[in-house]
Structure 1
Amino acid sequence: MEKQDDYVEYVPVAKRRAMEAHKILQRKIKSFALEEKSDKLKLAAQPNPSLLVKAQSTKSNIVAEDKPSRPSLLVKSLEMKHEAPKITPIQQMVQQEKEIIDNLSDRKTLMSVGELAKGITYTDPIPTGWKPPLHIRRMPMKQCDLIRKQWHIQVSGEDVPPPIKNFKDMRFPEPILKTLKAKGIVQPTPIQVQGLPVILSRRDMIGVASTGSGKTLVFVLPLIMVALQEEIRMPIVPGQGPFGLIICPSRELAKQIYEVVEEYLVPMRQAGYPKIRPLLCIGGVDMRSQLDIIKEGVHIVVATPGRLKDMLAKKKMNLNNCTYLTLDEADRLVDMGFEDDIRHVFDHFKSQRQTLLFSATMPTKVLNFAKNALVKPATVNVGRPGAANLGVIQEVEYVKQEAKFVYLLECLQKTAPPVIIFCENKADVDDIHIYLLIKGVDAVGIHAGMDQKEREDAISSFKKGKKDVMVATGVVSKGLDFPDIQHVINYDMPAQIEDYIHRIGRTGRCGKTGIATTFINKNQSETTLLDLKHLLQEAKQRIPPVLAQLNDPMELNADAITNASGVKGCVYCGGLGHRIHDCPKLEHQKRMAISSSRRDYFGSGGYRGEI
């Protein structure tokens, strides 16, 4: 090929860069040489020769400084570790717990789908015409705090109404005051002193108090007042209502609350007040009898989630005028799987409502979950949430599994009847019931496997004193009030400390004293026994040797962990003997979630987990 005149040989990029760098270096050397020559001429006239040496050394180092030195990745990592603050094992544990809680709280809030979709939020409580007497309204804040301190009441929230120490200043109608006096209720309990003024002011509230402290009256009496006010303002028409709704986790508890409502409505009717119709909406009962009351118009509904959801879905009842909602044993409703049913009920509200949550055990995770749906809520605590009733003498006995039947008869000799015996499963209830009948003890059994009529008859006969002993599963432990229970026996120690607190709370109610005896052995997990040990220590009860010798991993750092996290014990279940990463309740719910997610792909019971 003939060579072209304008042909330029191709030079690789690396070679061109090297050539450019060489040219730059040559220019710098020439400039440095010129500068050095001028510096020598200037320094020659000066008497100090050391400056010349200094100038020469300075110029000779410029070339080396021109290329910045880059530290290695190892040096950088060491510098970052040195600069980063050191994290102690306790701080690391608290950080892990926070991540677990954040993951658990990543759930839908307790609001209706319509409100979430439209972005509807309420910022102010429902207006009310109720006002306490003038001297209560003018009570200084220091005096309010002093009363709360005397009654061991802890409050949080914006502008919490002042406490009121007597029912008369709460401005209840005369028939209600007379009924309270006839029942021997002369002075309000601590939860009533602060809770009733909050609810009468139509504020959202979270109420936490020990079992037997009178929480039922705190939400029943204001509901009667709301229904009465609405009926006077505009009488209800057939098919309309309700104005207020109370949701409970069990049928027995719903029936008990309904009876309390009726107890205060009857004297009001007799005194000439407008007729207020309540409705008991529970499963196991013929729906037609409930529909007959709804057709007349109903003011107050006490319901379980299943039957209420069914009535609303079939449009037999609506919540268009409902502005008052109470979730009794709120944490139990969430734990027992009624969360979705309750959220479905929320979809039927057409306007703002006053929401109240009550329980004896209210873990922090339930509080955080509920606060998202409440409007400027006031939280009222009487004692530590999840603490045992101080009116109960707790006795823990180590009894081998095969010796429980024999020792049970000895325990029944401790006190006079009535006595409740709690078991973990239905088979034990039936076996103990038959065993006691054979031994001549007048006993009755109750569990979830019985139909509604049998359960109601068992509870009725026990309450009326026809039976001395009731053998039951946990269905009876949630909120039921039995008169003058002397003794509670835990035949099986429950796996969760919350269930234990609810069970022993059937005795020692309304300021009285009772005894709770609990059988433990090697069948219980160490975590549950540690929770029980801490609960006994908190209540200043005798700790048996079998619990005292347990190795407690939290004992050394308990105070440091509490100070770092701000929460004593487990934030999920309230147990004091473990943290959330060891929570048996959380593990149980995870296993239940995994088992419920399986589908029968092959038939005949062949299960395969979802991928």
Structure 2
Amino acid sequence: MTSFSSLGVPAAITSALASLDITEPFPIQVKTLPDTLAGRDVLGRGQTGSGKTLAFAIPLVTRLAASGEENDGAGRRRASGTRKPRGLVLAPTRELATQIDRTVAPLAEALGLRTTVIYGGVSQARQEKALAAGVDIVIACPGRLEDLMKQGVVSLNEVSISVLDEADHMADLGFLPVVRRILDTTPAGGQRLLFSATLDNGVDKLVNRYMQKPVTHSVDAPQAAVTTMEHHVFLAKDKDAKKLLINDLASGAGKRVLFTRTKHAAKKLAKVLTANGIPAVDLHGNLSQNARDRNLAEFSSGEVRVLVATDVAARGVHVDEVELVIHVDPPAEHKAYLHRSGRTARAGAEGTVVTLVLPEERSEVQKLLRAAGVKAPFTPAAPGSREILDFVGEQAEAVDPASRAAVQAAKAPQQGGGKSTGANAQRKRARRGGQGAGQGPKASGQGGEASQGKSASGDAGRGRRRDGAAPRGERTASGARGDRTPARGDRPARDRSAAPRGGSAPVWSSTTGGTSGGAYDAGARSGARGGSAAGRPARSGPRRASAPASNARRGR
């Protein structure tokens, strides 16, 4: 039996693989490793789950650790801050990039190399920090990597090994122009590895432009060929029956992935299943990276058994022990069917794939399965039937939606607990602490002369109202709280001849009998705030009537 050692893999790598319970190479690895370790350009084709990631991760780490003038023979390079990327892996989605890093990082660490992941949808600050600290291998999505290159954050002028994973999917997403611009910045003559489930849709242009006499290795035809995967097609009579079938199929005890065509449908279905006692999480493009990671972690750990996803999870999401994949909405083309189905029966494990079909979708699905190389009869299925329950097998215990909501709430970041010293924050804390409304935590000392630089009188400060009433929120001698204003019917008539409010502040007074005019009494400013109006001409002309004058005209 072929072993990794017999293929030329260093002992440090074989030990790292053994610690991950990987002891025997897969066919794609057996075929490609001799050429990739020798430095040749290689085209590798294999179905999802066939071991392509390790097929390029092993030579990438091995050759980088053994190269470079600064290498001390143990894979340790010069000071980390001076490291520039020498290995580059491009992937079409952040899920796939993250998955690749989980495979590459343990091998790189065994040889003293560093990796980092670069993708969009998150702040680039952490990525800049990792690059500044020095890395050997960059695993990136093309869009964000090009942005960082334009900003001068990263340079690829020392890259000696470039890997393109799922190149056909990058072509589908329109990334090929960006990929070409990125590869143009890498040194000519470096080793180029291209791995994909299919080698079409413009991938040949990349091959002709960047690869030198590539060796092609293929272990699978671009059709379904996994012998441990069963395919079933269930025909529902209408949409209502389909909804009930989804609930039945999702109720099993094992992990299952349900694929929908749209993000809205994925989000809605996850909520419906959770409300029906089947905890489910969603995965789609509208989620933030933190939400994606959190939902995937819950599904991977088994805390929830159902993942409802769009095609964003069809590539690059590897979760062990997924026993069932359900195509809730049939995919648009056969490659998507193969990649979706590849979430189960991975690495030699067994798995089942179910496609739910409405009568009007039957002809299109038949064409789809024919192109994918799948032969499966269309079986009429009734919700709750003995055939469906036998197919599902052991059912999981229903979970109360309220309990699930409580668990989610406990995990959510807690609000409050800030340390702001602003007046508004202190008033909010005072209210939460049960203190009187409007009474700040610094009732004493904040309303006196020391805290009021604008008034020479303590009564004019915050602690004492200008009319002599008790401050708001404090009780008077009679036990009543001081209020902002008395009731409208209890207001005393205003005497315009009286001194202005506060004893010294200037006021507007109407001299036009209620029209929109008024005269400013310049003499009233004398002594206000310690100032003087001497030498200042009196203002005249039409002025807007003051609020007291307007109220008087209305008989208030």
Determine if the TM-score, normalized by the shorter chain, exceeds 0.5.
yes
| In structure 1, C-alpha distance between the alignment counterparts of 2:313 and 2:201, rounded to whole Å | 25
Task: Answer yes or no: is the 8 Å Cα contact 2:234–2:379 preserved in 1.
Answer: no
Q: Give the superposition deviation at 1:369.
A: 5.2
Letter in 2 for 1:262: A
Hey, what does 2:106 align to over in structure 1?
Answer: 263
TM-score under structure 2 length normalisation: 0.64
Q: How many residues in Structure 1 have an aligned counterpart in Structure 2?
A: 373
Which of 300, 305, 322 does residue 142 from structure 2 map onto? Answer: 305
Report the TM-score, using the length of structure 1 for normalisation: 0.58
Contact 1:433 1:444 in 2 (8 A): yes
Which structure has more relative contact order (CA 8 Å, sep 6+)? It is 1
Q: After superposition, what is the alpha-carbon deviation per residue over 1:50-92, rounded to whole angstroms, capped at 9, x for unaligned?
A: xxxxxxxxxxxxxxxxxxxxxxxxxxxxxxxxxxxxxxxxxxx
- Which residue does the alignment assign to 2:241? 403
* Aligned pair partner of 1:440 in 277, 281, 284: 277
Q: 1:399-428 CA deviation, whole Å, 9 max, x = no partner?
A: 233322111122235x53211000000111
Q: Could you tell me whether the CA contact under 8 Å between 1:508 and 1:514 is conserved in 2? A: yes
Shift of 1:525: 7.8
| Partner SS state of residue 488, structure 1 | strand
Alpha-carbon contact 2:334-2:371 (below 8 Å) kept: no
Pairing partner for 2:23 from 186, 206, 225: 186
Once the two structures are superposed, what CA deviation does each residue of 1:86-114 show, in whole Å capped at 9, x if it has no partner? xxxxxxxxxxxxxxxxxxxxxxxxxxxxx
When residues 368 and 319 of structure 1 are mapped into structure 2, their CA distance, relative to the original with a 3 A threshold, is closer
Aligned partner of 1:481 in structure 2 is 318
Q: CA RMSD in A?
A: 2.1
Q: CA deviation at 1:203?
A: 1.1
Please say if residues 446 and 471 of structure 1, whose CA atoms lie closer than 8 Å, have aligned partners that are also in contact.
Answer: yes
Select 2:66's aligned residue among 229, 247, 259: 229
For residue 139 of structure 2, what is the amino acid of its counterpart?
Answer: V
Distance in 2, matches of 1:407 and 1:245, equals: 45
In structure 2, C-alpha distance between the alignment counterparts of 1:302 and 1:498, rounded to whole Å = 24
Distance change >3 Å, CA 416–CA 362, structure 1 → 2: farther
Q: Once the 2 structures are TM-superposed, how far is the Cα of residue 190 of structure 1 from its aligned partner?
A: 0.5
Give how far 1:315 is off: 1.3
Residue identity over aligned pairs, in percent, reads 31
> 2:336: which partner in 1?
499
After superposing the two structures, state which structure 1 stretch, 403-412 or 233-242, moved more. 233-242
Question: Secondary structure at 1:486's aligned position in 2?
Answer: strand
The reply on whether 1:520 has 2:357 as its aligned counterpart is yes
Q: Structure 1: any 5+ residue segments left out of the alignment?
A: 1-163, 547-611
- The corresponding residue for 1:75 is none
**Greater helix fraction, Structure 1 or Structure 2:** 1
**CA 1:416–1:198 in structure 2 vs 1: closer, same or farther (change >3 Å)?**
farther
Matched, 1:205 2:47: no
Matched residue, 1:356 = 193
Superposed counterparts of 1:410-421, under 5 Å: 410-413=248-251, 415-421=252-258
Please give the alpha-carbon distance, in whole angstroms, between the structure 2 residues aligned to 1:365 and 1:527: 26
Of 155, 160, 164, the match for 1:327: 164
Q: Which amino acid aligns with 1:177?
A: T
Partner of 1:176: 13
**CA-CA distance at 1:448 after TM superposition:** 0.2
CA distance in 2, matches of 1:260, 1:343: 25
Q: Is the 8 A contact 2:172 2:201 kept in 1?
A: no
Question: AA paired with 2:343?
Answer: R
Q: Relative to 1, partners in 2 of residues 1:385 and 1:484: Cα closer, same or farther, differing over 3 Å?
A: same
**Which residue identity does 1:333 align to in structure 2?**
M
In structure 2, the residue corresponding to 1:467 is in which secondary structure? coil
Compared with structure 1, are the counterparts of its residues 381 and 201 closer, same or farther at alpha carbon in structure 2 (3 Å cutoff)? same
CA deviation after TM superposition for structure 1 residue 352, in Å: 1.9
Q: Is the 8 A contact 1:447 1:475 kept in 2?
A: yes
Instruction: Report the CA distance between 1:513 and its aligned residue.
Output: 1.0
Distance in 2 (CA, whole Å) between partners of 1:295 and 1:351 is 25
Aligned CA distance change for structure 1 residues 527 and 362 (closer, same or farther; 3 Å): farther
Contact 1:495–1:524 (Cα < 8 Å) also in 2: no
Amino acid at match of 2:249: C
Give the letter aligned to residue 404 of structure 1.
Answer: K
2:232 maps to amino acid: E
* Structure 1 counterpart of 2:263: 426
Asked if 2 retains the 8 angstrom alpha-carbon contact of 1:328 and 1:357, the reply is: yes
Match of 1:243 among 80, 86, 102: 86
Match of 2:378 among 532, 536, 544: 544
Deviation of 1:276 after TM superposition, in Å, equals: 1.1
Answer whether contact 1:236 1:297 (CA < 8 A) is retained. Answer: no
Unaligned 5+ runs, structure 2: 72-76, 381-556
Give the Cα separation in 1 of the matches to 2:199 and 2:377. 25
Question: Which residue identity does 2:296 align to in structure 1?
Answer: I
Q: 1:460 corresponds to which letter in structure 2?
A: A
Amino acid in the other structure paired with 1:349 = T
Aligned positions of 1:289-304 closer than 5 A: 289-304=126-141
In 2 relative to 1, CA 445–487 (structure 1 residues): closer, same or farther, beyond 3 Å? same
* 1:405-454 C-alpha deviation (Å, 9 max, x unpaired): 111122235x5321100000011111111111111112111110111110
In structure 2, the CA distance between the partners of 1:287 and 1:236, relative to structure 1 (3 Å rule), is farther
